[in-house]
Amino acid sequence: MGSASACAVPALFGYLQWLLRATPGVRYMYPGPFCYEDARASRCLWPFSVRRESSRAVYRTRSARLLRVPCFSGQSRTMKDSSILFPGAPADDGTEPAPPQEIEQPAAQTRRKAGRVRDWIARHPALAAFPFVLSAALLLWEALVRWQEYPAFILPGPRNVLRKALAMAVDGSLLRHAQATVIEIGAGLLIGLTLAFLLGYWLGRSRTLDRILSPYLVASQTIPVVAIAPLLVIWFGSGLLSKVLVTTIMVFFPTLVSTVVGIRNVDPDLRELMRSLRASRRQLFLKLELPGALPVIFSGLKLSVILAVVGAIVGEFVGADQGLGFLINLGRGVLDTPMIFVAVLMIVLLAQAMYWSVTLLESYLLRWKQLDLKDGD
């Protein structure tokens, strides 16, 4: 009778499980294993299988463990072959079921997001502080204008400058003049950086050439660009060429110096190793000299892009019919101070955009250096 009841009770509960599954809206029922004893050993039956759905962690709860119904008197020990009687059932070694997998709480998600925000602020403090700095500057600017009651032609308020910028953006004049300045900067950078890199490479490789040309290169930098710009306008006209030449002169020397220093900082032992491995001149340059000199070259390049903007504006000051420098001259002539502010702000934004572009390019090309620093730590 005992063995019959030991088999009948699990069968009834198995039927009940099937019936509940067929009932709409019922998903889970897990009373736990039903154990019994026979002549051979203690066994554990799993008549109630579990549906693996989105909330699978809810079936092993304290209330579910309280629903276990033993089919014998006395303490039982289970065997790991209970899946033989009910295929698909997990094997039970007699231990308590694993604790329920905790569902992630909104507080934990909030803490993780806060940690990510703190990490981003630690990596980019300047970007994180920019909204506060900008807001403080605008408030101080507006407070100064209202306190001293300056007229618009002396010191316009932020709202007057914003209205002027919107009006110039609508009629297309702001975009047209900014585009002219960008073309001058781009052409000057292309010519100046190419010449500076080629000459700097040969100066870095040849000490004799460096001793011959260095005095003349240093002497050329003692002449102010503002003094050369009118001569270039007279010789080459007030068109694009004179502004490109002024920009080229501005960006040439910083890139030249950084290239020379970068090439000379290459480890001579590594150069001798490459030569012993029969590396060609091209392989020596691409595999050793260029990667070794790039960190120093980018230091000069960041300065060069800023000076390129200055050179283009200086050329436009001397003589031009378009460009952001021309807008500053025009605003000064007609006492349109908001126009001057709009042009100056556009110059600042342009210089910042070019600087951050070079910074992103540096981080992309020098990823290997960051990896080496992390491995060293």
Kindly state the average pLDDT of the residues 84-105.
Answer: 48
pLDDT at res. 328: 92
Per-residue pLDDT, 189 = 94
Residue 65 lies in a domain: yes
Pair (195, 296) in one structural domain: yes
**141: pLDDT strictly greater than 80:** yes
For residue 297, give the 3-state DSSP assignment.
helix
User: Where among 84, 106, 134 does a domain terminate?
Assistant: 84
Higher pLDDT, residue 59 or 249: 249
Given 84, 119, 136, the domain boundary residue is 84
What pLDDT is recorded for position 43?
47
The answer, yes or no, to whether residue 115 has pLDDT greater than 70, is no
Tokens describing residue 67: 């629903």
Stretch 17-41: mean pLDDT:
46
Domain that holds residue 333: 172-376
Domain match, 50 and 182 both: no
Same domain, 251 and 365: yes
pLDDT, greater one: 204 or 21: 204
pLDDT in tens, 197-207: 999 999 988 88
CATH number of the domain at 305, please.
1.10.3720.10
Residues 183 and 329 grouped into a single domain: yes
Half-sphere exposure of residue 206, counting CA atoms within 13 Å on the CB side?
13
Both 52 and 184 in one domain: the answer is: no
Tell whether 35 is covered by a domain.
Answer: yes
Q: Is residue 225 part of a domain?
A: yes
Residue 18 lies in a domain: yes
Inside any domain, residue 135:
no
Please say whether the beta carbons of 185 and 247 come within 8 A: yes
**In the structure, what pLDDT confidence band is assigned to residue 80 with cuts at 50, 70 and 90?**
very low
Residue 65 has pLDDT above 70, yes or no: no
How distant, in Å, are the alpha carbons of 109, 259, 303 from that of 359?
A: 33, 17, 11
Looking at the fold, whether 202 and 334 belong to one and the same domain comes out as yes
pLDDT in tens, 213-267: 888 888 888 888 888 888 888 888 888 899 999 999 999 999 999 999 999 888 8
In a domain? residue 144:
no
Structure tokens at 331: 């605003």
Query: CB atoms < 10 A from the CB of 51, how many?
Result: 13
Is the domain of 177 the same as that of 292? yes
- Quick one: 191 and 49 in the same domain? no
Half-sphere exposure at residue 332, Cβ-oriented, CA atoms within 13 angstroms: 9
Residue 220: inside a domain: yes
Name which residue leads in pLDDT, 14 or 308: 308
**Residue that finishes a domain, picked among 41, 61, 84:** 84
Between 354 and 20, residue with greater pLDDT: 354
Residue (of 158, 162, 187, 189) closest to 174 by Cα position? 162
Same domain, 46 and 192: no
| Percent of residues, the chain, with pLDDT higher than 70 | 67
pLDDT value for 106 = 62
Task: State whether 191 and 310 are in the same domain.
Answer: yes
Residue 210 pLDDT greater than 60, yes or no: yes
Task: State the Cα torsion 65-71-76-77 to the nearest 10°.
Answer: -80
**Dihedral of alpha carbons 299, 227, 246, 161, sign:** positive
Q: How many domains does the chain have?
A: 2
Whole-number pLDDT of residue 290: 87
Question: How many residues appear in the chain?
Answer: 377
Residue 97 lies in a domain: no
Is the pLDDT assigned to residue 112 strictly greater than 70? no
